[in-house]
């Protein structure tokens, strides 16, 4: 997929660059991003809205992968940016991301985080709860400038992959419930206070979603409420944000629909709802994370030890694991892989790919057919671009891998590999013993 292909040496090439050369230059584990594919996805989302002639913002959910270069790339592609913490906000600002296109999320934003967001003039705060409304009011003070906010509502539509659950009351830590008066109370508070400029509402129904029904149902629920607020208070929403969650193909078990199909369906439903409820067409905002960067990322590992459990399985271990990709251990997520240095090699065998962390659960892939692998071969695991580096950790004191962007035959290091010195940089030694 993307710009991946097998070159004349039989090596995996991405963005016109030999991944084996990259592994030799930058070491492993190594995350490689196909920049052209990220641009293509961004343009597919934006182009789909443009074809409908509607106002929209496509905000990259930077929790999927945040780094200075990544937010710069998002800015180049005219995306907006969803950040969920002071750290993601700081990264965005350090990358020169236009603050007016930053949307600040989170269910427990601190005073300091909100102060930082207001100081830099972020485009909007997605207000999640009553405590946050209080904090914003205090920060703004009696004479301050009104803060643009969206109210995050919980519509009682929960989508998981192919299933969606419709509940009167969703049990979620996020947002104001639409169905029990919470959202109405939040609306009244925000309307009554000069601290807020209410742009509209936000909802997010889940992640790795493969069909459109959940988005349609969420849009209907949200519009039913907006219509009420319009009738009772004359409120006219400028923005409806339907969140992210568009699914991608990790393995053949996944069957996503094209990006444009989600957009078509969302635009159609919002248009219909706006007409039905006699509201002007709002701007539509969405927040894709995984679908912008997920399949653009590939991790290269070096293969090391092998263990045969006779008549049961063969374990092949790589030089990373749950420290750079926690998704298999955390969610049972599945991945596909090839040998980067012998993609089309023969003598296939079925093996299981183990990480190097001291946990039996640190398995990256169970039962995959690969050409017979030797120590020193390179394994390329696909679709690690979302929630890979961003959820990486230093378990067992493994240094976090480097990240490289490739495009048009050119490679550039965008996140350096951590060193052992980095690992202990915040450690302080025991106090010296005082001689008695």
Residues with catalytic function: 358
289 lies in the binding site for ligand LLP (CB under 6 A): yes
Minimum CB separation of residue 322 from ligand LLP in Å reads: 13
**Does position 105 bind ligand LLP by CB under 6 A?**
yes
State how far the Cα of 152 lies from the Cα of 266, in Å rounded to an integer: 18
Maximum Cα–Cα distance across the chain: 84
Report the residue from 387, 399, 400, 403 that binds ligand LLP according to the rule CB under 6 A: 387
State which of residues 15, 106, 156, 245 lies at the interface with ligand LLP (CB under 6 A).
245
Q: Quote the crossing angle between the two packed helices 259-276 and 35-52, to the nearest 10°.
A: 30
Close Cβ partners of 346 (under 8 Å, ≥ 6 residues apart): 371
Applying CB under 6 A, what is the total number of residues that bind ligand LLP? 19
Contact 153, 110 (CB under 8 A): no
359 token code pair: 């946990």
User: What residues numbered 49-68 form the site for ligand LLP, per CB under 6 A?
Assistant: 61, 64
Contact flag: residue 103 with ligand LLP (CB under 6 A): no
In this structure, the number of other CB atoms found within 10 A of the CB of residue 10 comes to 15
User: Is the Cβ–Cβ distance between 242 and 215 less than 8 Å?
Assistant: yes
When asked if residue 216 is in the footprint of ligand LLP (CB under 6 A), the reply is no
Q: Which residue, 17 or 70, is less far from ligand LLP as judged by CB?
A: 70
> End-to-end CA distance of the chain, in Å?
69
Does 263 bind ligand LLP (CB under 6 A)? Our answer is: no
Using CB under 6 A, which of 85, 207, 298, 302 touches ligand LLP? Answer: 207
Segment near ligand LLP (CB under 6 A), from 47-55, 158-166, 239-247, 399-407? 239-247
Residue 16: both structure tokens together: 């016109």
Contact between 126 and 61 under an 8 Å Cβ cutoff? The reply is no
Binding mask 294-333 for ligand LLP (x = CB under 6 A): ---------------------------------x------
Using CB under 6 A, pick the residue from 156, 214, 237, 244 that binds ligand LLP: 244
| Interface positions, 77-96, toward ligand LLP (CB under 6 A) | 82
Which residue, 214 or 244, is less far from ligand LLP as judged by CB?
244
Stretch that binds ligand LLP, among 287-295, 336-344, 358-366, 371-379 (CB under 6 A): 287-295
SS3 content of the chain, % helix, strand, coil (to 5): 35, 25, 40
Instruction: Look at the block and give the residue holding tokens 């263990």.
Output: 307
Q: Does residue 341 contact residue 379 with C-beta atoms inside 8 Å?
A: no
């Amino acid at each position: 997929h993307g710009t991946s292909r097998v070159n004349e040496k039989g090596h995996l090439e991405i963005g016109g660059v030999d991944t084996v050369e990259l592994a030799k230059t930058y070491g492993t584990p190594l995350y490689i991003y196909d920049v052209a594919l990220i641009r293509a996805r961004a343009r597919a989302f934006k182009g789909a809205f443009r074809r409908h002639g509607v106002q929209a913002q496509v905000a990259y959910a930077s929790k999927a992968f945040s780094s200075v270069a990544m937010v710069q790339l998002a800015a180049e592609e005219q995306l907006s940016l969803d950040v969920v913490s002071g750290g993601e906000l700081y990264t965005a600002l350090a990358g020169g991301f236009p603050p007016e296109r930053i949307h600040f999320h989170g269910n427990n934003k601190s005073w300091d985080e909100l102060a930082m967001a207001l100081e830099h003039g972020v485009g909007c705060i997605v207000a999640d709860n009553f405590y946050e409304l209080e904090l914003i009011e205090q920060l703004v003070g009696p004479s301050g400038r009104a803060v643009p906010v969206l109210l995050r509502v919980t519509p009682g539509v929960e989508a998981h992959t192919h299933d969606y659950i419709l509940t009167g009351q969703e049990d979620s830590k996020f947002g104001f419930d639409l169905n029990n008066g919470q959202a109405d109370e939040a609306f009244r508070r925000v309307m009554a206070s000069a601290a807020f400029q209410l742009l509209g509402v936000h909802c997010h129904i889940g992640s790795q979603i493969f069909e459109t029904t959940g988005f349609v149902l969420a849009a209907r629920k949200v519009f039913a409420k907006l219509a009420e607020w319009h009738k009772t208070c004359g409120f006219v929403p400028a923005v409806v944000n339907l969140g992210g969650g568009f699914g991608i193909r990790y393995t053949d078990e996944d069957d996503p629909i094209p990006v444009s199909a989600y957009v078509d369906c969302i635009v159609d439903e919002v248009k219909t709802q706006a007409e039905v409820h006699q509201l002007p067409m709002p701007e539509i905002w969405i927040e894709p994370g995984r679908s912008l960067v997920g399949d653009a990322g590939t991790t290269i590992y070096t293969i090391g030890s092998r263990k045969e459990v006779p008549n049961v399985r063969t374990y092949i271990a790589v030089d990373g694991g749950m420290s750079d990709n926690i998704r298999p251990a955390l969610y049972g997520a599945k991945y596909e892989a090839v040998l980067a240095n012998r993609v089309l090699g023969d003598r296939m065998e079925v093996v299981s790919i183990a990480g190097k962390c001291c946990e039996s659960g640190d398995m990256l892939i169970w039962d995959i057919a690969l050409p017979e692998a030797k120590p020193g071969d390179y394994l390329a695991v696909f679709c690690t671009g979302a929630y890979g580096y961003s959820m990486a950790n230093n378990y067992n004191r493994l240094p976090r891998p480097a990240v490289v962007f490739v495009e048009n035959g050119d490679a550039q290091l965008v996140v350096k590999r951590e060193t052992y010195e980095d690992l202990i940089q915040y450690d302080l030694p025991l106090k010296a013993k005082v001689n008695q």
